[in-house]
Structure 1
Amino acid sequence: MGDRWPALRVRLRVRDRQPAADLTLALLDDFRPTGLDTSNDPWLVYFATAEARDRALGAIVGRLDEIGVSAETVDLPDEHWAERSQAALRAVRVGRLVIAPPWDAPAGPSADTIVITPSFAFGTAHHASTRLCLHALQRVPVEGRRVLDVGTGSGVLAIAASRLGAANVVGIESDPIAVEAARRNVADNPGARVEIVHGDAANAAMPSADIVLANLTGATVMAMADLLADAVGGGGHVIVGGCTGDEGPALDAALGTRLVRDRTDAEAGWIAQTWRRN
Structure 2
Amino acid sequence: MDGLDAYVDAKALNAQTEWTMNGSGINQHNIIGKISYAFEEHTKYWSFFVPEGSNIACVEYMLNMPDTAQCIISEDIPIFQIVGDADSPERYALDSFKFSGRIYLYIDEVLKSEHKENIVDIGTRLGFSVVVRDREYVEKCSELARPIVFISHDSRDKDSLVSDLAREMSKLICPVWYDEYSLKVGDSLRENIERGLKEARKCVVILSPNFISNGGWTKAEFDSIYTREIHEKSNVILPVWHNIESSDVYDYCPRLLDRLALSSSIGIEKLAKKLVEAANS
Q: TM-score, normalised by structure 2?
A: 0.28
TM-score (norm 1): 0.28
The structure with the greater share of residues assigned to strand is 1
Larger Rg: 2
Larger helix proportion, structure 1 or 2?
A: 2
